[in-house]
């Protein structure tokens, strides 16, 4: 597996990985449709954010995107195809994002995590520093806000 800078023309593949990864957690189809905008990476987004993809066997198997602000990096996306979960792709992507954020001068990296991914971020050295309300169809839900000092 190798990690390379994503190009605007990769946006469709990146979005497909994000949708497949989110769908892996068994959310209702109606929720996935409501999240379509969040799971869609456009060519413009890829052009204006530090976006990288993991390639294995000639195909995109994962991605991350960072939003860099002064001394803070927001891990806006980190997705891995379900077939690649547990094989080290997520760790490699996280570490690459962490190194990029550190090189850019960030002192901390934050991520609003899917509840199912919180354990992954804890294994990566992040800690919960709060939560973000994320209600769906009248159900009270919260996303863990994770933070890792760089």
Q: Are 85 and 97 in contact (CB under 8 A)?
A: no
Those residues whose C-beta lies under 8 Å from the C-beta of residue 32, and which sit 6 or more positions away, are 19, 22, 23, 39
**In the CATH hierarchy, which top-level class contains the domain 2-149?**
alpha beta
pLDDT of 70: 86
- CA torsion 11-17-18-20 (nearest 10°) is 140
pTM of this structure: 0.94
Between CA 45 and CA 51 the distance in angstroms is 8
Per residue of the chain (150 residues), what is the pLDDT tens digit?
999 999 999 999 999 999 999 999 999 999 999 999 999 999 999 999 999 999 999 999 999 999 999 899 999 999 999 999 999 999 999 999 999 999 999 999 999 999 999 999 999 999 999 999 999 998 899 999 999 999
């Amino acid at each position: 597996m190798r990690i390379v800078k994503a190009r605007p023309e990769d946006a469709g593949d990146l979005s497909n990985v994000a949708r497949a990864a989110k769908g892996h957690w068994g959310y209702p189809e109606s929720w996935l449709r409501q999240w379509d905008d969040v799971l869609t990476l456009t060519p413009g987004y890829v052009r204006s954010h530090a976006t990288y993809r993991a390639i294995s066997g000639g195909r995109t198997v994962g991605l991350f995107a960072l939003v860099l602000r002064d001394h803070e990096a927001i891990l806006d996306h980190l997705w891995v195809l379900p077939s690649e979960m547990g094989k080290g792709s997520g760790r490699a992507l996280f570490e690459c994002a962490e190194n990029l954020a550190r090189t850019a001068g960030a002192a901390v990296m934050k991520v609003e995590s899917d509840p199912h991914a919180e354990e992954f971020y804890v294994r990566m050295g992040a800690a919960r520093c709060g939560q973000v309300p994320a209600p769906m169809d009248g159900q009270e839900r919260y996303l863990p806000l994770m933070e890792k000092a760089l």
